Chains A and B, each alone.
Chain A
Amino acid sequence: MAKKIMVVDDDTEVAESIAEFFQSIGYEARYAFDGDEAMKLVAEDKPDCILLDIQLPGSRNGLDVLDEVKEIDPNIKVIMITGFVESEVEEECKRSGVDKYIVKPLDFGDLDDMVKELLGEKK
């Protein structure tokens, strides 16, 4: 069965394109534009891996979503996407249990490798 990927990013171009990419290489991909929508989708159908932007509009940001997702199921892999290069942010994410951390601008090849690694598939 195909692995499920969820992309959360407030930038429509980014969210759609990444989801499309993963869809095209054989994953089941969905996307959300903010934290609330993301949690709704998680409740409906748990993904295997979430690509999460740290800056989200609304009451929840990426860190909040990370915490909540890990609470629901720590086995859901989370890759945090961010424009920040500060190490404190990285530290914070690690503390909250993020699995991978990647900085914009994004490369599909890198994303692909990362997801494959997290979901235990060989390259």
Chain B
Amino acid sequence: MFDIESYCFNLQAIPLFFVGASMLLSGLFVYSKNRSSSINKVFLLICISVCVWLLATALGYLSKVPEVAKVWFKIDNFGVIFISINVYFFIVLFLDVKRKLTILLGYLTAVLFGALITITDFLVIGVKKYFWGYFPEWGFLGFGVLLFFFGFMLASFIELVRHYRIVKAPLNKKNQIKYMFIAFLGAYTGSVDYLPAFGVEVYPFGYISIAFFLLVIAYSMVKYRLMDIEVVIRKTLIFGTLFVAVLGSFVGITLLTQELIVGGRLLGVAISSLIIILSIRPLEDFLVNITDKYLFQKKYDYQQVLKSFIDKVITEFESDKIASGTIDLLDKTLHPERIAIFLFDKNIRGFILIKGANYDTDIMLEDAPEVLSSLISTKDILSMEIENGNDMSEKLTSEMNTLNAVLAIPLIASSELLGVILLGKKKSDEYYTEDDMNILMDLARTESIAIKNSQTLQELTEQKKIAALGKVASSLSHNINNHLNRARIRLQKAVYTDQILTKLGSYDLPPEGKELIDKLAEHIKMVTSYIDAGGDVVKKARDFAKPTKGPLRAVDIRQPLEEAMYMVNELKFKKGTRKIPITLEIAPDVPKVRAKEDDLREVSITVIDNAVDAIRMKELNGNGDESDNIRIEVAYSKNIRQIELRVIDTGIGIKEQELSDIFLPYFTTKGSAALYEDYARRKDLRVEQETEKAVYGTGLGLDLVKSLVEEQIRGKIRAESKQGEGATFIITIPEWVEDENGEEDNGSR
């Protein structure tokens, strides 16, 4: 059999050699990628067994002598017998299933069969000549072989199908299984090769099935990182393929022409050269296009993208704009189905959706605590598609599904999680490649720095503004106070020192004269009270920029509310006016709040005060009735950790267009002195200083309340109203949450 004379050329052998060699090379390639992995080793075994089959068969074709052919065919069937069990083993390893016993038995059986095949004639009883060459003839053992072969083949497929159903994540695993199924299914069509062994004259195209198998496996490796092999098709590989194609066609054509035409070697060379020269360029272009379209996933220049993003973001100081820029960029380069950028807001101590593209605004990041803690601990991208070292637990998977995202990218600066970028899958259904992930991490790092800067800048600017405002308020109010002081003293002088009115009163005057003196007295009294009102405003304005004293503690909202109600009752209702019922209802689940009692009381007094005035105004217009009341309700929103304080009155209401204006300084709807005088005349009330101050709005109440709420309490205030039916003031106050190290800020900013 080692005599070259035993062999003659057979064209049929060439493809078998080719595919067999490719199979072996693929096996070696996979093994080289990870020598310690069992999967890779077993893949190599598969490749070796197939290679043995094909090469031995090829040599059998090339044999002139039947006995030599028979030997080769025995060797080939030796290879064949191991194929199925190797495949089964491979699949079992791939799916991480335990079938030790089965595998052991399988290999024992294979060895047994192998021995029988090579040593005895039980399988290969002889050879038969077909149109393509010699082929083995099988005896009765063939049925045993078939049973064994197809038995394990079926077992493999069953495992694949079963796992396809079960596997949920990572996403590419499912695809890997799918393609593996297709590859092996295709490969097994090569079983057609058994037919000629039983005498059926059918061309054994098994090698084509194997070629198909190789192609599908290669595709899966590139697209789905099968066996964790990242294959980046480089241009060099393309040229490698070209080279092989050229050489192969040169050799093939030359040999062919040599066969068909006597003395045609020279002609063969000429023809093949011509064909090569003509087709090489188009072939190269074709290959480049194909690989770009189906295999290349990088469609942008990594560095270019990063550079342009950095340039853009470095000049931005508003987180809004940074977020928009990022979304645009991601959309253009990666084409995800949806994007969402969440940033952590210190005031509400939660994540807010800053900007989103095609993203449901009801989704809350807080609904995915596992995802958040994974991001914080790994400081790396969390991907649903690829296993990146972490086990994608069921919880993580379901949370990512809730978030409608396939990638979660953390924005981290100085160990703080500033925010998260969520990406849906790519519109093209391709997976995010390793390059994509790298660029995303770099992007995220740049963005985190930019956001941190913008936040710091904002805080500084605000602090500066407030300090400046405080200074202005301070000097202005001091000035104003001095003027008010002089005015008041002048009036006092008229009354006390000069005693003008008293002295005038002692003169003998006609009744009109006495009346005039009374009027004058009234005017003086009014002016004095206005001056005092001015003094109050000054006081409040000066308090504006100063934080209230005292440490922040967990506060029960009931007490300051009750105190506020008490004070309003005392101040407003003691003059014989009809009391307006004020009720307080606090929901049982309302926890302690994060605010100072003084602040809460101050805010409540002003808002309740306003509510009373609103009802009084309604009475003034003649629309008041017995049922007018004020309800104070406190409720708890657990998912945003906010307590909602509502003051609901049935007063005159607020015009819709004024709903946000009422929080502006110097905005007043309460009316002029004329209105007040009307009221006093109609109700025949004595003019007392307190009630004057109370009903006659100075217009500097709600805006101070707003700043108190926003700056000191770190909450929000808004108003809702139906004109004529009443208004509701809604104040949200943060819940008292224990800080990490139990430290609380002590109130000074």
Interface positions of A (Cβ within 8 A of B): 11, 13-14, 17-18, 20-21, 24-25, 83, 85, 87, 104-109
Contacts and interface: CB of A to CB of B under 8 A. Distances in A.
B64 to A, nearest CB: 115
Contacts of A21: 492-493, 496-497
18 contacts: A14-B486, A17-B497, A20-B493, A21-B496, A21-B497, A24-B496, A25-B496, A85-B539, A85-B542, A87-B549, A104-B482, A106-B488, A106-B489, A106-B492, A107-B492, A108-B489, A108-B496, A108-B497
A105 B535 contact: yes
Interface in B518-564: 531-532, 534-535, 538-539, 542-543, 549
B481 interface: yes
Contacts of A18: 489
Contact of A17 (B493, B499, B532, B535): B493
B740 to A, nearest CB: 33
Nearest to B543: A85
Contacts of A105: 481, 484-485, 487-489, 531-532, 534-535
A14 B496 contact: no
A14 B486 CA distance: 6
B278 to A, nearest CB: 96
A79 to B, nearest CB: 15
A109 B486 CA distance: 15
Contacts of B638: none
Contacts of A13: 486, 489-490
Contacts, number: 63
A51 to B, nearest CB: 12
B223 to A, nearest CB: 72
A41 B485 CA distance: 25
B493 A107 contact: no
A17 to B, nearest CB: 5
B485 to A, nearest CB: 4
The 7 closest A-B pairs by CB, nearest first: A105-B488, A108-B492, A104-B485, A83-B481, A105-B485, A108-B496, A21-B497
Contacts of A87: 549
Nearest to B477: A83
A14 B489 contact: yes
A123 to B, nearest CB: 15
B431 to A, nearest CB: 65
B465 interface: no
User: Mostly helix, strand, loop or mixed at chain B's interface?
Assistant: helix
B478 interface: yes
Contacts of B495: 108
Contacts of B489: 13-14, 17-18, 105-106, 108
Interface residues of B, number: 26
Contacts of B477: 83
A80 B357 CA distance: 64
B483 to A, nearest CB: 9
Given A17-B493, A83-B477, A105-B532, 9 more contacts: A20-B497, A21-B492, A24-B496, A105-B487, A105-B488, A107-B488, A107-B492, A108-B489, A109-B496
B495 to A, nearest CB: 8
A109 to B, nearest CB: 8
A19 to B, nearest CB: 10
Interface string B488-509: 1110110111010000000000
Nearest to B546: A86
Nearest to A20: B497
Nearest to B474: A84
A8 to B, nearest CB: 14
B472 to A, nearest CB: 16
B698 to A, nearest CB: 15
B485 A14 contact: yes
Contacts of A25: 496
A87 B482 CA distance: 19
Contacts of A11: 482, 485-486
A107 B491 CA distance: 10
A31 B485 CA distance: 17
A104 B490 CA distance: 13
Contacts of B487: 105
A103 to B, nearest CB: 8
A20 B490 CA distance: 11
A104 B493 CA distance: 15
Nearest to A23: B497
B598 to A, nearest CB: 12
Interface string B560-587: 0000000000000000000000000000
Contacts of B549: 87
Nearest to A18: B489
B528 to A, nearest CB: 8
A3 B698 CA distance: 41
Contacts of A106: 485, 488-489, 492
A107 B487 CA distance: 11
Nearest to A19: B497
Contacts of A24: 496-497, 499
Contact of A104 (B481, B496, B497): B481
A106 B549 CA distance: 27
Contacts of B482: 11, 83, 104
A20 to B, nearest CB: 5
Nearest to B494: A17
B5 to A, nearest CB: 117
B544 to A, nearest CB: 12
A20 B493 CA distance: 8
A25 B493 CA distance: 12
Nearest to B540: A85
A108 B534 CA distance: 18
B539 to A, nearest CB: 5
Contacts of B486: 11, 13-14
A109 B495 CA distance: 10
Most buried by B among A18, A83, A87, A108: A83
Nearest to B542: A85
A11 B486 CA distance: 8
A14 B488 CA distance: 10
Most buried by B among A104, A105, A106: A105
Contacts of B531: 105
B441 to A, nearest CB: 52
B497 A83 contact: no
A20 B497 CA distance: 7
A85 B542 CA distance: 8
A121 B590 CA distance: 54
Contacts of A85: 539, 542-543
Contacts of B534: 105
A82 B561 CA distance: 32
Contacts of B539: 85
A90 to B, nearest CB: 13
A14 B487 CA distance: 9
A85 B535 CA distance: 11
A106 B482 CA distance: 10
